[in-house]
């Protein structure tokens, strides 16, 4: 009898604990996502000021955004930086990831530390350092300079993603292709590349998002004439809170939502290629 | 094969040596060589209580933000790891969306919410908690509210990846052997999840140390952090010596923490977050 009571008590306290935990999770999720939702709602407000709830809905903030050529110009600048830097970073990082697994352990660690260093170095240090270098080279305020800086910043992210996929590829597959007479390049192109392709795409996407959202380094090395979107937004936000920014923020939020979905898609592709490999191996 | 492998590394390594390693080393060298060789920049740093105060602020704010992240992030990661497939997906999605959203956008959202007549103040007055708007922004409270929100996914994601590998059978075994749920959690689950907690906590702490955007937008003059000071030294005074000294201190602190974590937990745990 006593045992039953104790058991019941135990279950009750378990239920309590679970309810408390659920409530806390709900609050935490509100804290994480809530502010973004508020901005999204406010971006459709008809008011000239940021009052919540909005008195009526209207698209006038989006109209403001689209009619101001400065926003369009900085958006184009962001794309001009993002596309080449993400492409170059993906190519260099994929090549490097393929090179690193052919090195011995010691050399591989050394190279990996160099390639991953920009992630663990506080970004303000990277920014100050690149600004100093560009000052001496006369590259501050140029698209070329921004592309180089963004390539350096995004490269490690692609490297991590592709390296992880490469480590999962069975080295016997490439060896088997070579045994069957495929030249190294063919073996790579026909066997390894298709297997790591989802990771390469995922890395490319990662690089694009990181470049598009990058602020600190761009803030140092851009000038009012050549200004990516985030720097433009920063200089606008520094003074007061302009309601037009809510429309811009919502637009950026949609882009990150797309990125999350694309990332999921890539992961599904990755999983499917795993399955294909298993069925191929078993048949 | 090895030689060809090495060739593949050339573009990435060259790019990072020329445009990352060299300028960072140049910046750190300035701390000892600008305007002339000597320790004057570090002496400057130590002699001015204002700047020591900034360093102290940086550590205090980062530590507080890390503790807040642990307290609210742990239950979230636990629910993600132990929930049903659907819960896991939903929570994962809700953590990843802010993670992928630009820090600037998230910080701006807090500027909107924490304003004098922003949503939070409206709520507090409506519920009668306060009768006048309270100052929530341009002070330490605002900085922390914003920073914890931005940094939380960096704790939750590595913690989750460790928790999801913990077999629930251990906790059940402890319960069968007579441990109360609290005891089973404290003695079995918590120690098993510790590597994730420490990896995530370290990551949050080192990102917070070098943090720039959120404190600059949500903090007040009394909450200046070291990254803002570096930016001021360069942008306002063009003083590479002082900037270099501050950068050296920041990098040394970050490196030290990483090294300690690495020696305690082996090589990879601190890295494999992304």
Structure confidence by residue, pLDDT tens digits, B50-63 = 889 999 999 999 99
Chain A hits for B230, Cβ within 8 Å: 124-125, 128
| Angle at the Cα of B24 from the Cα atoms of B18 and B29, rounded to 5 degrees | 115
- Cβ <8 Å between B12 and A215: no
Burial of A143 (0-12, 13-18, 19+ CB in 10 A): middle
Chain A hits for B268, Cβ within 8 Å: none
Phi, psi (5° rounding) for residue A226? -115, 100
> Tokens for B164?
């999801």
Chain A hits for B247, Cβ within 8 Å: 124-125, 128-129
Interface-testing mutation among B11, B12, B31, B118, with chain A (most A C-beta atoms within 10 A): B12
Chain B hits for A103, Cβ within 8 Å: 2, 5-6, 9
| Angle at the Cα of B177 from the Cα atoms of B173 and B182, rounded to 5 degrees | 80
Alpha-carbon distance of A232 to A226, in angstroms, equals 10
Say yes or no to pLDDT of A88 above 60.
Answer: yes
- Cβ <8 Å between B109 and A36: yes
Q: B41-265 falls under which CATH superfamily?
A: MetI-like (1.10.3720.10)
Alpha-carbon distance of B143 to B66, in angstroms, equals 13
- Cβ <8 Å between A237 and B217: yes
Of the listed ranges A10-19, A95-104, A200-209, A219-228, the least confidently predicted one is A10-19
Provide the 8-state DSSP code for A45.
B
* Unique residue bearing structure tokens 């593949």: B8
Burial of B43 (0-12, 13-18, 19+ CB in 10 A): exposed
> Tokens for B72?
């609210």
For the segment A49-70, what is each residue's pLDDT rounded down to a tens digit? 777 778 888 898 899 888 889 9
Say yes or no to pLDDT of B268 above 70.
Answer: no
Distance from CA of B258 to the nearest CA of A (A): 9
- Cβ <8 Å between A33 and B98: yes
Q: How many CB atoms lie within 10 A of CB B190?
A: 12
Average pLDDT of the segment spanning A76-89:
96
For the segment A135-155, what is each residue's pLDDT rounded down to a tens digit? 999 999 999 999 999 999 999
pLDDT classification of A233: cutoffs 50, 70, 90: very high
Does B96 lie at the interface with A, CB-CB under 8 angstroms? yes
Nearest to A132 among B231, B240, B267 (CB): B240
Look at residue B271 in the predicted model and tell me its pLDDT: 44
Spell out the domain ranges in chain A: 70-282
Does B229 lie at the interface with A, CB-CB under 8 angstroms? no
CA-to-CA dists, residue B20 to A61, A114, B9, angstroms: 40, 9, 16
Alpha-carbon distance of A82 to A59, in angstroms, equals 28
Which 140-199 residues of chain B touch chain A by CB within 8 A? 149, 152-153, 175, 180-182
Contact B80, B87 (CB under 8 A): yes
Does B210 lie at the interface with A, CB-CB under 8 angstroms? yes
Contact A95, B11 (CB under 8 A): yes
Question: Nearest residue on chain A to B204, judged by CA atoms?
Answer: A120
- Cβ <8 Å between A241 and B115: yes
Look at residue B2 in the predicted model and tell me its pLDDT: 56
Pairwise pLDDT comparison (B110 vs A174), residue with the higher score: B110
Chain B hits for A231, Cβ within 8 Å: none
- Cβ <8 Å between A111 and B271: no
Question: Nearest residue on chain A to B181, judged by CA atoms?
Answer: A14
* Unique residue bearing structure tokens 């480590």: A167
Q: Packing angle between helix A229-239 and helix A69-100, nearest 10 degrees?
A: 130
Alpha-carbon distance of A56 to A58, in angstroms, equals 7
Burial A172-207 (b: 16+ CB within 10 A, else e): ebbeebbeeebeeeebbeebbeebbbbbbbbbbbbb
- Cβ <8 Å between B93 and A260: yes
Average pLDDT, chain A: 86
Q: What is the CATH number of domain A70-282?
A: 1.10.3720.10
Under DSSP, is residue A57 helix (H, G, I), strand (E, B) or coil?
strand
Say yes or no to pLDDT of B27 above 70.
Answer: yes
Contact B95, B153 (CB under 8 A): yes
Chain B hits for A148, Cβ within 8 Å: 15, 19
Chain B hits for A157, Cβ within 8 Å: 274
Highest mean pLDDT among A22-31, A82-91, A272-281, B43-52: A82-91
Spell out the domain ranges in chain B: 41-265
pLDDT classification of B272: cutoffs 50, 70, 90: very low
Alpha-carbon distance of A55 to A25, in angstroms, equals 31
Alpha-carbon distance of B89 to B93, in angstroms, equals 6
Does B212 lie at the interface with A, CB-CB under 8 angstroms? yes
CA-to-CA dists, residue B108 to A58, A216, B175, angstroms: 21, 15, 47
Distance from CA of B54 to the nearest CA of A (A): 15
The reply to whether the predicted model has a pTM over 0.90 is: no
Highest mean pLDDT among A101-110, A157-166, B18-27: B18-27
Look at residue B22 in the predicted model and tell me its pLDDT: 97
- Cβ <8 Å between A38 and B119: yes
Alpha-carbon distance of B204 to B258, in angstroms, equals 12
Alpha-carbon distance of A92 to B105, in angstroms, equals 30
Chain B hits for A261, Cβ within 8 Å: none
Look at residue A117 in the predicted model and tell me its pLDDT: 92
Chain A hits for B229, Cβ within 8 Å: none
- Cβ <8 Å between B76 and A52: no
Chain B hits for A101, Cβ within 8 Å: 5
């Amino acid at each position: 009898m006593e045992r039953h009571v104790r058991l019941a008590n135990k279950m009750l306290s378990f239920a309590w604990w679970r309810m408390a935990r659920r409530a806390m999770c709900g609050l935490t999720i509100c804290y994480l996502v809530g502010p973004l939702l508020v901005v999204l709602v406010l971006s459709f407000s008809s008011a000239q000021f940021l009052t919540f709830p909005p008195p009526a809905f209207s698209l006038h903030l989006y109209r403001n955004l689209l009619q101001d050529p400065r926003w369009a110009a900085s958006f184009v600048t962001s794309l001009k930086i993002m596309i080449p830097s993400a492409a170059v970073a993906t190519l260099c990082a994929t090549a490097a990831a393929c090179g690193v697994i052919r090195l011995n352990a010691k050399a591989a660690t050394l190279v990996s530390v160099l390639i991953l260093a920009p992630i663990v170095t506080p970004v303000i240090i990277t920014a100050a350092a690149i600004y100093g270098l560009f000052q001496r080279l006369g590259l501050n305020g140029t698209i070329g300079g921004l592309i180089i800086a963004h390539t350096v910043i995004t490269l490690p992210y692609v490297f991590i993603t592709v390296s992880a996929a490469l480590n999962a590829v069975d080295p016997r597959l490439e060896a088997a292709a070579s045994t069957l007479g495929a030249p190294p390049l063919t073996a790579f192109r026909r066997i390894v590349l298709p297997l790591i392709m989802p990771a390469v795409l995922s890395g490319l996407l990662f690089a694009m998002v990181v470049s598009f959202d990058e602020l600190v380094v761009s803030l140092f090395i851009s000038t009012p004439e050549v200004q990516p979107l985030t720097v433009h937004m920063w200089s606008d936000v520094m003074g007061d809170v302009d309601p037009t920014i809510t429309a811009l923020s919502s637009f950026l939020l949609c882009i990150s939502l797309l990125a999350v979905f694309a990332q999921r898609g890539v992961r599904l592709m990755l999983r499917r290629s795993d399955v294909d490999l298993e069925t191929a191996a078993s048949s | 094969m090895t030689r060809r492998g090495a060739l593949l590394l050339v573009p990435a390594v060259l790019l990072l040596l020329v445009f990352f390693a060299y300028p960072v080393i140049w910046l750190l060298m300035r701390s000892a060589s600008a305007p002339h060789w000597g320790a004057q920049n570090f002496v400057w740093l130590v002699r001015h209580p204002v700047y020591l105060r900034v360093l102290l602020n940086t550590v205090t704010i980062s530590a507080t933000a890390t503790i807040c992240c642990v307290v609210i992030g742990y239950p979230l990661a636990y629910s993600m790891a132990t929930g049903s497939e659907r819960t896991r997906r939903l929570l994962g999605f809700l953590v990843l969306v802010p993670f992928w959203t630009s820090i600037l956008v998230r910080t701006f959202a807090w500027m909107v919410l924490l304003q004098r007549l922003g949503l939070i103040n409206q709520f507090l007055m409506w519920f009668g908690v306060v009768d006048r708007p309270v100052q929530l922004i341009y002070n330490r409270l605002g900085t922390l509210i914003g920073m914890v929100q931005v940094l939380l996914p960096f704790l939750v994601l590595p913690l989750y990846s460790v928790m999801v590998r913990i077999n629930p059978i251990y906790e059940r075994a402890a319960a069968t052997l007579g441990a109360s749920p609290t005891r089973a959690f404290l003695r079995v689950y918590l120690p098993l999840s510790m590597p994730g907690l420490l990896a995530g906590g370290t990551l949050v702490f080192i990102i917070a140390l070098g943090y720039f955007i959120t404190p600059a937008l949500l903090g007040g003059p009394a909450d200046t952090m070291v990254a803002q000071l570096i930016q001021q030294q360069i942008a306002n005074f063009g003083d590479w010596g002082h900037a270099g000294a501050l950068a050296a201190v920041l990098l040394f602190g970050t490196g030290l923490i990483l090294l300690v974590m690495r020696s305690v937990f082996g090589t990879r745990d601190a890295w494999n977050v992304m």
